[in-house]
Structure 1
């Protein structure tokens, strides 16, 4: 059984951040469960252009308000507590935190190692070259 808290993850190698975002990786590849789980905050006013080329990601919003834009279609989806969105086709997207910090529980498959930050194209590199295509 794995039991871990956000507080004990803060400030460790499982805590990554960048301009406008902060992520505590509660479950990572080394935990050997086949996915990673993150408590992620996107700061109010932040906008990120992302595309996870090697991962499938699900995001459950539990605080704040924002939106996610499907770059391919231009369609914008509102995000509020209780919303989930899944990037099941490696969708290039724009994520915006509009009202308060956007708080998300993020699940990645395959899992992240824990210390990754976004590449220039908004993706994460696959661990050891293993990714979902």
Structure 2
């Protein structure tokens, strides 16, 4: 079985709705007295990401087909470009972009293995565009 890939034609997530948080990886130990103790619940920590996309009518169709058919209503994992890394310019410590030998900016790359999170994506209409809001679980 091949793992599907997020459609390249879909835009980057909106910045103002993007939220990423690590799921609780600690398990509190039972103690009778003193300071609380913790241990890791699991070795790989998944992340919960909330985001939205502003889509044209064609983009809405691409998203709907991907969610409903390709991932079978969100039950299958998929590869997605990491929106916080993939395609961004690599910079030095002062924030200046780095260039290769040909003068092209060096771009970072990153991908997530993820699944759609709890609940189905919600859709709202914004003028002639559609906003899809959804959550993802980024697998470790």
Q: TM-score, normalised by structure 1?
A: 0.25
Higher RCO, 1 vs 2 (CA within 8 Å, ≥6 residues apart): 1
Who wins on radius of gyration, i.e. which is larger?
Answer: 2
Q: Which has the higher strand share?
A: 1
Q: Which has the higher helix share?
A: 2
